[in-house]
């Protein structure tokens, strides 16, 4: 049996993402990365929490944040998490076309989220003069929320390139782990956002 | 392949599809609960409920949502997730220590 036959079996196994040694390694390795990311984001959250009281002028969390936009962003990201679950459901049923379709929807929702975030930052900078350098609160805020936004951007590039690269190949045991860990990454982005909307926006409004 | 083994493998495929479907139902319920918790959290702040408990309640709602995301959406409740669970709980322990350190010792 050649290497190609191993990766393209007649009957796909139950968990195509963990059927090969490479897949298993990717799976554990990626979880290690996520454990590290948890600590990384914790240090950004810690910095933000410690500095969010050091404001300048009227630009306090209470005055700046508008919950309507944050609510829309939350719904977009939360729904995109569900659509990537749908994509992985179709992967497990070996339905490549439907998986691609739901990954596409996930990417669109992620783009919507990113658009809202860019609008939000633009609004703060031009309407309020609230920038990275205006106060320690500003630095903490843009570092934390911007770093999360950077993760969203990277996730979009990642999923889109996987979709394009594998479009003609179809699903096999070589690319199934790749699709699976990209969806784990996307869920992790949502995990971080849940804490951002709670700690930064909601608790910021409560004061 | 003989007809019998063909039938057996088809049967296995159907069982597998049913399992996947069952998990999908659980995930949709999880999603509905997450939306509900988000709505509760936002309305608590918008309606300006001033209570001593609002901050802990908001954090609790976030914690439950994250647990849903990890255990259901990221499959941590499934078999074969011993290592990921150890790694994530290890990461979360360090994360908590980091936040406590930053907010109580380094800057105040």
Average model confidence (pLDDT) across chain A: 94
Between A and B, how many CB-CB pairs are < 8 A?
Answer: 128
pLDDT of residue B15: 81
Q: What is the mean pLDDT of residues A182-197?
A: 97
Annotated domain spans of chain B: 3-77, 79-108
> How far is Cα B52 from Cα A108, in angstroms, rounded to an integer?
40
CB atoms within 10 A of CB A77: 25
Mean pLDDT comparison of A88-97, A107-116, B5-14, B44-53, highest-scoring range: A107-116
Q: Which one of A42, A184, A206 has the shortest CB-CB distance to B99?
A: A42
> How far is Cα A151 from Cα A110, in angstroms, rounded to an integer?
11
Any A CB within 8 A of B57 CB: no
Q: What is the pLDDT of residues B50-101, one digit of tens each?
A: 778 899 999 999 999 999 999 999 999 998 899 999 999 999 999 999 999 9
pLDDT of residue B52: 83
- Alpha-helical runs (H) found in B1-108: 3-46, 54-68, 82-101
Q: Is the pLDDT of residue A181 over 60?
A: yes
Tell whether ipTM is more than 0.90.
Answer: no
Q: Which domains does chain A have, with CATH numbers?
A: 17-52+62-206 (1.20.120.80)
Q: Is the pLDDT of residue B107 over 70?
A: no
Q: What is the mean pLDDT of residues A7-17?
A: 82
Find out whether A203 and B55 touch, Cβ atoms under 8 Å: yes
Inter-chain residue contact A34 with B58, CB threshold 8 Å: no
- For chain B, first and last CA: distance in Å? 72
Any B CB within 8 A of A203 CB: yes
Encoded tokens for B106: 């380094």
Using the CB atoms, write b or e for A1-13: b if 16+ within 10 Å. Answer: eeeeeebeeeebe
- Which of A128-132, A160-164, B1-5 shows the lowest per-residue confidence on average (mean pLDDT)? B1-5
Find out whether A80 and A111 touch, Cβ atoms under 8 Å: no
Reference A140, options A69, A41, A35; nearest CA is A41
Inter-chain residue contact A49 with B103, CB threshold 8 Å: yes
Q: How confident is the model at residue B48 (pLDDT cuts 50, 70, 90)?
A: confident
Find out whether A78 and B35 touch, Cβ atoms under 8 Å: yes
pLDDT of residue A83: 97
Q: What is the pLDDT of residues A71-81, one digit of tens each?
A: 999 999 999 99
Which of B98, B100, B104 to substitute to test the interface with A, most A CBs within 10 Å? B98
Inter-chain residue contact A18 with B99, CB threshold 8 Å: no
pLDDT of residue B2: 62
Inter-chain residue contact B101 with A18, CB threshold 8 Å: no
Q: Which residue has the higher pLDDT, A16 or B13?
A: A16
Any A CB within 8 A of B33 CB: no
Chain B residue closest to A37 (CA)? B91
Chain A residue closest to B106 (CA)? A50
pLDDT of residue B16: 81
Inter-chain residue contact A35 with B35, CB threshold 8 Å: no
Inter-chain residue contact B42 with A67, CB threshold 8 Å: yes
Q: Is the pLDDT of residue A207 over 80?
A: no
pLDDT of residue B108: 54
């Amino acid at each position: 049996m050649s290497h190609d036959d191993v990766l393209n079996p007649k009957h796909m196994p139950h968990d195509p993402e963990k059927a090969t040694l490479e897949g298993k390694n990717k799976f554990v390795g990626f979880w290690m990365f996520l454990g590290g990311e948890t600590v990384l984001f914790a240090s950004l959250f810690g910095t933000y929490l410690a500095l969010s009281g050091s404001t300048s002028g009227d630009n306090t969390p209470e005055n700046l944040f508008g919950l309507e936009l944050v609510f829309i962003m939350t719904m977009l990201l939360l729904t995109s998490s569900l659509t990537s679950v749908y994509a992985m459901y179709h992967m497990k049923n070996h339905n490549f076309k439907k998986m691609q379709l739901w990954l596409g929807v996930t990417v669109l929702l992620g783009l919507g989220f990113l658009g809202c975030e860019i609008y939000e930052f633009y609004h703060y900078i031009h309407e309020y003069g609230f920038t990275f350098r205006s106060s320690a609160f500003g630095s903490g805020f843009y570092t934390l929320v911007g770093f999360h936004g950077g993760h969203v951007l990277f996730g979009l590039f990642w999923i889109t390139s996987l979709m394009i690269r594998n479009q003609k190949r179809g699903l096999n045991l070589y690319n199934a782990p790749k699709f699976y860990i990209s969806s784990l990454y996307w869920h992790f982005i949502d995990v971080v956002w849940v804490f951002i909307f709670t700690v930064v926006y909601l608790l910021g409004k409560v004061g | 392949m003989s007809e019998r083994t063909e039938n057996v493998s088809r049967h296995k495929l159907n069982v597998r599809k049913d399992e996947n479907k069952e998990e999908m139902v659980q995930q949709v319920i999880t999603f509905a609960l997450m939306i509900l918790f988000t709505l509760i959290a936002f309305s608590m702040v918008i309606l300006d409920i001033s209570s001593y408990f609002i901050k802990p309640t908001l954090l609790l709602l976030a914690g439950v949502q994250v647990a849903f995301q990890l255990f259901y959406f990221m499959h941590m409740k499934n078999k074969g997730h011993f290592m990921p669970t150890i790694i994530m709980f290890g990461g979360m322990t360090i994360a908590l220590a980091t936040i406590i350190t930053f907010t109580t010792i380094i800057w105040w």
